[in-house]
Amino acid sequence: MALRVDEVRRLDERARSVGEKIGWEMRFIVAPNPEYVGLVAGPDRVFVIGPGKLADLTAYDIELDLDALERGDRHISRDEDGDPRLI
């Protein structure tokens, strides 16, 4: 079951807000197959979470990771190729 438009908008706004606080451009996105979602970071929009199936509670996991990023319990840093990675 796909997310409603208002749910996607809320999660994307939350991702953008948390991204601003931690110094990363972040977006919540829905894949062409609406059963898959993810969190991307950086100007190239590299997946740091997902894409994952909604049935696997990916949207819920993204909410938890956004909370952890906001608290400072998790971080995004660049890997050896310069791509953002959630650690």
- Residues paired with 49 in a beta bridge: 39
pLDDT digits (tens, 9 = 90+) for 6-48: 999 999 999 999 999 999 999 999 999 999 999 999 999 999 9
Q: pTM for the complete prediction?
A: 0.92
Both tokens of 83, joined, read: 């791509």
Residue 2: per-residue pLDDT? 84
- Ramachandran angles phi, psi of 25, nearest 5°: -80, 120
Both tokens of 52, joined, read: 């994952």
Taking 80 as the threshold, does the pLDDT of residue 1 lie above it? Answer: no
Segments making up each domain of the chain, as ranges: 5-86
Cβ pair 47, 39 in contact under 8 A:
yes
- Read off the pLDDT band of 81 (50, 70, 90): very high
